[in-house]
Amino acid sequence: MRIAYLHYLVDDDTGRHHVRQFAAAAASLGHIIDVRGMNLAPEGNAGGDGDATARLRSALKQRFGRYLHEPKELLWNARYVGRETDLLRELRPDVLLVRDHLLTASCVPVARRLALPLVLELNSPADEGRLYLGEYLHFPRVARAIERYKLRRADAITAVSSTLKRLLVDTYGLPEGRITVVPNGADLERFHPGVRPDSGVRFPAGVAPIVGFVGSFRRWHGTDLMTRMAREVGAARPDVGFLFVGDGPEAAAVQEAIRPFGARAVMTGRVPHARVPGLTAAFDIGVLPETLFYASPLKVIEWMAAGRSVVAPGYPALDDIVENGKEALLFPPGDADALVRAVLRLIDDGALRARLAAAAAERAAKSLSWVENARRVLRACETARASRLPGGDTSHRPA
């Protein structure tokens, strides 16, 4: 198949890693994937610091961005329709695959105008903005109405977790068979148990095991739980080390929590993704204190592929990728005491650490690669394409 894969991610969005990995995996399976970023926001600092237009844009964004962000996204739909129509007429794909973007629905009239099968990739619900992105003024009823409009007119849908699929079915009355659950994947060539630890990270002799985290230090990753875990575990086990990789608005709180531990606690700040496999190999226990309840945490899958033991919150969405007690230890979400107990259990039981790590690596290798992710998406694309053929099932689309 020839698939046009459109997304609306800005230049520094970590979601672009997902886009690249899927596209590469799909291409390796023999398909042609045309990836195009459609977002109208200027990339980087267009014009440089001395550009008057850039300075004005920055000033307006700081003052009015909270109020204008979502109206801007709505207005951009009109421009997207024209751009996407011209692009797809040129590309002539068999299927249009779109990474869903809040308040953006241009793909629906474009697909209808060009008679293209439409597959929507859902990584979050419309309520994500209201729940987790407090820096903007939100219009939740508008967001849900647009989401309903898109989902009911798509030929097929992929959802990143079974929890998200259930939410979409229950909210909008969608047929379950039209939604394919597609968890995130790991690059098994870069994340595997044989990767050598990053040479730039050193711990004093005798410091072990190492507790680690890779990601952004933000509210939805449970920074408050992370700081409490680090304080209590570090005090209770004076030989344990910590390796925290990443940055974010709450990174300073984590830095302060581990400061008393001196050289046995390392915080790298933001690093290029190329360093992440080696840094993951440098710790023994990956700890995810919190996550979005519908998410398929990429970091957990990469830690599993790398052969690390994992502690994570026991949301039903995690059941798509791990079995509690077999490939990870899951704790009741938000329970700081249970989080600390789970980490201490793995610190004290090396055999359990090794058993969980080996089982996690095996599961990742069997079913959580980007190639497996691509296979699932491609099956959804094939289903959407078949529904447009004579005799195909089009009962889910409105007249």
315-326 tens-digit pLDDT: 999 999 999 999
Q: Are 237 and 344 in contact (CB under 8 A)?
A: yes
CATH classification at residue 278: 3.40.50.2000
pLDDT score at 72: 82
> Is residue 376 located within the same domain as residue 361?
no
Domain range for 156 is 2-185+371-387
**Bond into 209 cis (ω within 30):** yes
CA dist list (Å): 232 to 229, 240, 265, 378:
5, 11, 14, 46
**Residue 313's beta-bridge partner residues?**
331
Q: Say if residue 218 is in the same domain as residue 256.
A: yes
Over the stretch 350-366, which tens digit does the pLDDT of each residue have? 999 999 999 999 999 99
Q: Regarding predicted confidence, which is higher, 128 or 109?
A: 109
Residue 55 clears pLDDT 90, i.e. is over it = no
Q: Would you say residue 242 lies in a domain?
A: yes
Specify the range with the lowest mean pLDDT, choosing from 31-35, 111-115, 272-276, 394-398. 394-398
| Signed CA dihedral, 220, 223, 226, 232: sign only | negative
Do 215 and 334 share a domain, yes or no? Answer: yes
155 and 56 share a domain? yes
Q: Is residue 176 part of a domain?
A: yes
Would you state the pLDDT for residue 219? 86
Residues 398 and 148: their CA atoms lie apart, in Å, by 12
pLDDT at 43: 61
Amino acid at 204: P
Residue 399: pLDDT band by 50, 70, 90 thresholds?
A: very low
200 is a domain residue: no
The pLDDT score that the predictor gives to residue 387 is 87
Number of domains present in the structure of the chain: 2
Q: Are 328 and 361 in contact (CB under 8 A)?
A: no
Give me the percent of the chain exceeding a pLDDT of 90. 80
Which of 43-52, 74-83, 114-123 shows the lowest per-residue confidence on average (mean pLDDT)?
43-52
Distance CA 182, CA 305 (A): 17
Q: Taking a C-beta distance cutoff of 8 angstroms, is the pair 120, 178 a contact? A: no
Do 378 and 343 share a structural domain?
no
**Do 219 and 357 fall within a single domain?**
yes
Pick from 6-20, 103-117, 235-249, 251-265: least confident:
6-20
Q: Considering the chain, what is the average pLDDT of its residues?
A: 91
- Is 90 exceeded by the pLDDT of residue 54? no
Do 171 and 221 fall into the same domain? no
Mark whether 173 and 225 lie in a shared domain.
Answer: no
> Which long-range contacts link 229-233 to residues 24+ away (Cβ below 8 Å)?
229/287, 229/289, 229/336, 229/339, 229/340, 229/343, 230/254, 230/257, 230/258, 230/261, 230/265, 231/257, 232/340, 233/340, 233/343, 233/344, 233/347
Query: pLDDT by residue (tens digit) across 172-187?
Result: 999 999 999 999 999 9
